[in-house]
Structure 1
Amino acid sequence: MTTSSDQNTPSAQATGALSADLTGRVAIVTGASSGLGARFAEILAENGALVIASARRVERLQALADRVPGIEPVACDVTNPDDRRALVDGTLARHGRVDILVNNAGRGGTGTALEETLESFENDLALNLTAPFVLAQLCGRAMVEQGAGSIINVASILGLVSGSPLSQPSYAASKGGLVNLTRELAVSLARTGVRVNGIAPGWFPTEATEGVFATERGRDWMIRNIPMRRTGEEDDLDGALLLLASDASRYITGQTLVVDGGWTSR
């Protein structure tokens, strides 16, 4: 693994042929203990990045790090201000830079539009929207000093369209806010060399969606409404992630790439 002292900077790597090679880059991935976050950490590491994998369940992070070279586990509750700052400051202290931030940590709401509690709504906003904003600020400041960086916000198709017949007001509101926050940050940072983009996954089997996947009725409903007639598979987000993390997207900012098998195009 290349150390921070002898890394090529992203701006230097931007010259010449484009590739998804992330050698020398330092990435932070939140919510990396399972599901999409664990996959994101693994793919970034396999393509050369040193990945700081963060989540509350540190034992799962350690298992991931034991299995995949190039992953460094860090316990972090992204809703805790002290944890957020320690995550970023610790990465900078150990490795001297942050090149990629993947704001993946999140959860779905509980309760319908008329039943969800204010506490649940506020908790989901804190995790799904406020935490990504603060982490983007903390990492963004370091990236501006470097002159380059990529921030990737993991949104959802439910931030773009209604989830009916499912009803998740806090999740939809927070992910919709994250989509527009991505645009706002991208424009604000466009002249600094820092790019801000998003990924909006469709229906993928994760802890957050296990309730829908658990029943035949739920699976049939998803497949019937996905034009490609299948739900997402583990590696279906790899291309979007590597595109946005690498210099292959050096002229792309403010975009949310939808990976949903055509769900939002119906």
Structure 2
Amino acid sequence: MYKELFDLSGRVAVVTGGGRNIGLATAMALAEHGAKVVIAEIDPKVGEEGLAALQAKGYEAELHQLDVTDSRAVTACADAVVKKYGRVDIAVANAGIALSAPGEEMPDEQWHKVVDINLNGVFYTNRAFGKHMLDAGKGSIINIGSMSGIISNYPQEQVHYNAAKAGVHHLTKSLAGEWAKRGVRVNAVAPTYIETAMTKPGMEKADWYKIWMDMTPMGRVGQPPEIAACVLFLATDAASLVTGHVLVADAGYTIW
């Protein structure tokens, strides 16, 4: 019985930013459990590399080039997936960036870039794929938030990132409330620092890294598969009673 709850055979999943890091690990996890996976990636080279990694394992996957800040493109992507497969069961809004700048000196352009990708892009993804799920009366959306949507990170200065991730969490709860009775679940995962290309610059700053680890009860960063496992749970029928939830995977960071 319980094994069947994690079976995604015949289901179609889309992962934005799915070409590497958490996105690729998530695509791998979903594919391993039977899902047909669509990588939606802005960088063609990264997307091709991610697709090749999936296909090398024999998984059914394809690539769509996508800029999540382009709402029309996101809608077109969702329509294309449903036109080809007849359905979309899982959407993972993972695409995101992280930048750092003091709040009082932050250029408008940097603020808008981070918020546009990390919050607006998540909403466009939820809206476009959510519409098809609502039509079908079922579906699971998982947004990648952050512990930065719960706490304010130190020592790096990233008010735009923190605000956007907090917005992702509340967007998740709001849409979950709207769509719960219509068969669509909306949840989020809030990771700690994960060892990826995005966090590498911070990890290479010895003073930053020491503070991060001193503030983390487990004393370590996370790995992409650890977040992918959280997404997998929320995507499957094992989480059939879960909606509007922000699953915090932070090595204990927000305990204190």
Task: Name the TM tier (shorter chain).
Answer: over 0.9
- Other-structure match for 2:80: 90
How high is the TM-score relative to the length of structure 1? 0.90
Q: What are the superposed Cα offsets for residues 4-59 of structure 1, whole Å, 9 maximum, x if unpaired?
A: xxxxxxxxxxxx65521111110110011221111111111111111110111122
**For the Cα contact (< 8 Å) 1:109–1:121, is it kept in 2?**
no
Q: Which runs of 4+ in 1 moved over 3 A?
A: none
> 2:180 aligned to 183, 190, 195, which one?
190
Pairing of 1:71-220 with structure 2 (within 5 A)? 71-220=61-210
The share of aligned pairs that are identical, in percent, is 33
Q: What are the superposed Cα offsets for residues 88-141 of structure 1, whole Å, 9 maximum, x if unpaired?
A: 111011111110010000111331111111121112111111111122111111
Per-residue deviation, 1:211: 1.4
- Other-structure match for 2:17: 31
- Other-structure match for 1:9: none
Counterpart secondary structure, 1:253? coil
Per-residue deviation, 1:235: 2.2
- AA in 2 matched with 1:248: A
Q: What are the superposed Cα offsets for residues 165-216 of structure 1, whole Å, 9 maximum, x if unpaired?
A: 2110110111001100100000000101100000000011122211111133
Counterpart secondary structure, 1:251? coil
Check if 1:225 corresponds to 2:211: no
> 1:64 aligned to 45, 50, 58, which one?
50
Q: What are the superposed Cα offsets for residues 33-88 of structure 1, whole Å, 9 maximum, x if unpaired?
A: 22111111111111111111011112222222222122211111111233212211
Which range is displaced more, 26-35 or 178-187?
26-35
- AA in 1 matched with 2:106: E
- AA in 2 matched with 1:105: A
Counterpart secondary structure, 2:48? helix
**For the Cα contact (< 8 Å) 1:152–1:197, is it kept in 2?**
yes
Inter-partner Cα distance in structure 1 for 2:112 and 2:53: 36
Which range is displaced more, 221-230 or 252-261?
221-230
Structure 1: unaligned runs, 5 residues or longer: 1-15
How high is the TM-score relative to the length of structure 2? 0.94
Per-residue deviation, 1:146: 1.2
Which range is displaced more, 187-196 or 135-144?
135-144
> 2:34 aligned to 48, 61, 64, which one?
48
**120 and 201 in structure 1: CA distance in 2 versus 1, 3 angstrom threshold:** same
Per-residue deviation, 1:218: 2.8
Counterpart secondary structure, 1:22? coil
Counterpart secondary structure, 1:237? helix
Equivalent residues, number = 251
Inter-partner Cα distance in structure 2 for 1:144 and 1:159: 27
**For the Cα contact (< 8 Å) 1:129–1:175, is it kept in 2?**
yes
- AA in 1 matched with 2:18: A
Inter-partner Cα distance in structure 2 for 1:154 and 1:81: 18
RMSD: 1.4
**For the Cα contact (< 8 Å) 2:67–2:73, is it kept in 1?**
yes
Structure 2: unaligned runs, 5 residues or longer: none
- AA in 1 matched with 2:234: L
